[in-house]
Structure 1
Amino acid sequence: GHALAARRTGFPMTGLRFWGIFSTSLWPAGEPALPGRIHIRRALGGPIASILVGVAALLVAWFAGSDGGMLWWLALFAAADNLLLLGLGAFLPLGFTDGSTILHWWKR
């Protein structure tokens, strides 16, 4: 999500740095000063993608039905993880989340 959103702004990311189960987007070292709206658009890409994946997983769970066994449980877990943790949870301003980036650039 972040990579696609960044590419669409014209200022793409260069990679990812993984730390445990989390990761950080990497940006070009010589990137010019960008307006806040660019940072916000790039930050929104991740949660939006996670919410879309969560909705898709919810649909899979719905169609599998509760008697779908392992598929139902996996789809339900994927939906909860993407909707709650990676989607909505990303908006919490914890210093390393998209919510912090959005809050930082909101009035700039």
Structure 2
Amino acid sequence: MEDFFGRFKVAQQEIVGEQAHVKLQMLFTRREGFRRGAGTMHLAWGLEQADKLGIPAYLEASRMGRPLYERMGFQAVRDLPLDRERWNLTPEDTITCMLRPAQTNPGTAV
């Protein structure tokens, strides 16, 4: 797991370095919760925290989650190369590093 998740940590360091930012952890929604607003609700809370601080937000997105993050203002920075054979991944299992710039009007609702 250190090898797998360690790649995320290295990418985060390369992208944001020592810059203050909010790191949003992986969000999983049960299938029965898809398209019902649970992911958006949790994401909005995290973005509200970043907005209060006036700093950018960073996360790693799956192919499935990426459209939600893009709607919420995240921009793709880079795709993480993963050893698909070692981790039994398919080409659809892409992880994308994403960054949402600091909001110019901190404290506003998402």
TM-score, normalised via structure 1 length: 0.31
Which is richer in helix? 1
Tell me which structure has the larger Cα radius of gyration: 1
TM-score, normalised via structure 2 length: 0.30
